[in-house]
């Protein structure tokens, strides 16, 4: 019979064995569902562990970088129960996360290096660092998205390095607050969700036939009358200028630029009902609560119309630090083309006179486009080609791929399907640079996924129609096409569903994710 004597040496060995048995298994970078997929991922052994002593070190005295550090600190603290502090000197002991602005290949490029004692996020700009932090966020356990749900979680971050740079500079989503009005809280939640996927533009559709949603002090009846209803006859609503500025600031803190849209000369019934002088007959139409389109137009022959546009644009510009003002221009079916063309040209000049660039739906390409104008391709490829032939950039938003109000299939209760049924694979499997012959990447400003809200009445509806389709479109806009693959993406999205649930997002549970 073999007897084992445990002395000093064998006891030490036993302690080592016991310690190893109780150690936390290190997560692996290859097991993380990163979306959008980065350019380059290198896995290493080990992990960084967040704990009470972790610090966030900001190397430069930069306001944008301080915002990023504040965002990261708040994210960690709300879920872990720690009190992670932001410091200006590199910690002499304990682990830390370092944020810095350094050289990079593009304005939004970043590098993320995770070691056992130090994480470094660097970017060419503060925006790049912020996107790097969003990737770091996805390396953390899903529970980081909850508040106060921190007991029993090992806050381990897998070691490795990531280098990344977006495919397109403009990566956007549009929220229609005109057909149905949405509260400040709803828009802020939408902004928070966009930021997770490195979307950097929020296009707000602020005026349409059914409602006017932004206070214009020189034309107060626009909100008093035009803002008083919505599709279905609800009470509508509007944002005061202070509220709009608050949304702009909230978005800026997350490196998202708001693009306001005032649709013209069509989609203007709310304005026409508010001010009869904007009609050719001088009479106010009834307020409209339906969903048909193409029946309204500003009177393009009246001088007061252009004074109206100038006043609206001037006040919007004063509130909007971003470079773009969207003038709509779509579905103006009752505006004769000989009136539509000079109107669009004058509207562009008004926007340009205030130092802003124009974006308009693809129909604006029938007019002479100014050098800085962009046509948003949604319906007709020939319009997009007209824009490119004039030397303009195109913003890619094909209704059959990127419209988030399109139904998933024939059983979807919300949304419409005039353009297509759009399941998750259809929303993902396309290349903006190969969509229209003759329109290559060099002609494209970026990609935008719009959500029209004829059938959308509450935040739960938004989340169901937007997620997870928007996540796939975000990858289309960020990740180079040669790195994208549906099967790879589907696998990552299945894992990522746990994070959506931690966030409380009521997403569409596609049968494709159960295969």
- Please list the active-site residues: 331
Q: Please check whether residue 95 is in contact with residue 118, taking contact to mean a CB–CB distance below 8 angstroms.
A: yes
Taking the C-alpha atoms of residue 427 and residue 12, their distance in angstroms, rounded to an integer, is: 58
Of 307, 306, 284, whose CA–CA distance to 296 is shortest? 284
User: What are the two backbone dihedrals, phi and then psi, of residue 490, each rounded to the nearest 5 degrees?
Assistant: -60, -40
Answer yes or no: are the C-beta atoms of 198 and 134 closer than 8 Å.
Answer: yes
Main-chain phi, psi angles of 393, to 5 degrees: -85, 160
The answer to whether the bond into 265 is cis (omega within 30° of 0) is yes
Tell me the two tokens of residue 13: 């060995």
Could you tell me the two tokens for 332? 């103006």
């796939």: which residue's tokens? 472
Residue 325 DSSP class? E
Cβ(336)–Cβ(310) below 8 Å: no
Closest C-alpha among 280, 288, 362, 378 to residue 327:
362
* Gap between the Cα atoms of 471 and 62, Å rounded: 30
Distance from C-alpha of 74 to C-alpha of 61, rounded to nearest angstrom? 19
Residues 6+ apart with CB under 8 A from 444: 168, 393, 394, 395, 396, 432, 433
Instruction: Please tell me the distance from the alpha carbon of residue 402 to that of residue 449, in angstroms, as a whole number.
Output: 5
């Amino acid at each position: 019979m073999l007897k084992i004597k445990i002395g000093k040496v064998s006891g030490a060995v036993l302690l080592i064995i016991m310690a190893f048995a109780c150690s936390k298994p290190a997560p692996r970078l290859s097991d993380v569902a990163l979306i959008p997929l980065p350019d380059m991922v290198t896995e290493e052994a080990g992990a960084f562990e967040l704990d009470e002593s972790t610090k966030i070190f900001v190397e430069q005295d930069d306001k944008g970088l301080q915002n990023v550090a504040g965002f990261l600190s708040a994210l960690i603290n709300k879920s872990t129960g720690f009190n992670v502090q932001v410091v200006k000197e590199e910690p002499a002991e304990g682990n830390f996360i370092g944020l810095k602005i350094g050289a990079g290949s593009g304005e939004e490029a970043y590098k993320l290096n995770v070691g056992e004692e130090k994480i470094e996020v660097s970017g060419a700009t503060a925006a790049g660092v912020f996107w790097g932090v969003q990737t770091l966020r996805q390396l953390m356990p899903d529970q980081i998205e909850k508040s106060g749900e921190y007991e029993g979680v090992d806050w381990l971050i897998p070691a490795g390095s990531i280098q990344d740079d977006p495919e397109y500079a403009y990566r956007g989503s549009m929220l229609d607050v005109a057909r149905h009005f949405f509260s400040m809280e709803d828009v802020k939640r939408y902004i928070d969700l966009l930021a997770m996927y490195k979307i950097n533009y929020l296009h707000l559709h602020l005026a349409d036939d059914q409602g006017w949603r932004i206070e214009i002090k020189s034309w107060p009846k626009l909100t008093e009358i035009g803002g008083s209803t919505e599709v279905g006859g609800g009470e509508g609503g509007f944002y005061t200028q202070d509220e709009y500025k608050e949304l702009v600031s909230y978005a800026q803190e997350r490196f998202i630029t708001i693009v306001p849209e005032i649709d013209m000369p069509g989609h203007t019934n709310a304005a026409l009902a508010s001010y009869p002088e904007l009609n050719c007959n001088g009479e106010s139409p009834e307020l409209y609560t339906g969903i048909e389109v193409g029946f309204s137009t500003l009177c393009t022959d009246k001088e007061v119309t252009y004074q109206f546009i100038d006043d609206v644009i001037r006040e919007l510009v004063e509130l909007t630090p971003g470079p773009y003002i969207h003038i709509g221009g779509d579905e103006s079916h009752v505006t004769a083309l000989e009136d539509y063309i000079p109107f669009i040209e004058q509207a562009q000049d008004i926007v340009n006179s205030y130092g802003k660039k124009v974006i308009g739906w693809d129909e604006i390409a029938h007019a002479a486009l100014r050098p800085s104008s962009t046509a948003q391709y949604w319906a007709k490829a020939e319009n997009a080609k007209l824009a490119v032939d004039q030397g303009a950039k195109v913003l890619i938003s094909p209704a059959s791929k990127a419209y988030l109000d399109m139904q998933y299939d024939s059983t979807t209760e919300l949304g419409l399907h005039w353009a297509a049924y759009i399941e998750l694979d259809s929303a993902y499997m396309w290349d903006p640079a190969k969509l229209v012959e003759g329109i290559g990447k060099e002609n494209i400003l970026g990609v935008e996924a719009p959500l029209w809200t004829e059938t959308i009445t509450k935040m739960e509806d938004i989340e169901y129609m937007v997620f997870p389709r928007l996540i796939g479109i975000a990858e289309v806009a960020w990740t180079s096409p040669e790195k994208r693959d549906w099967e790879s993406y589907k696998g990552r999205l299945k894992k990522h569903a746990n994070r959506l649930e931690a966030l409380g997002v009521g997403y569409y549970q596609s049968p494709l994710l159960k295969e």
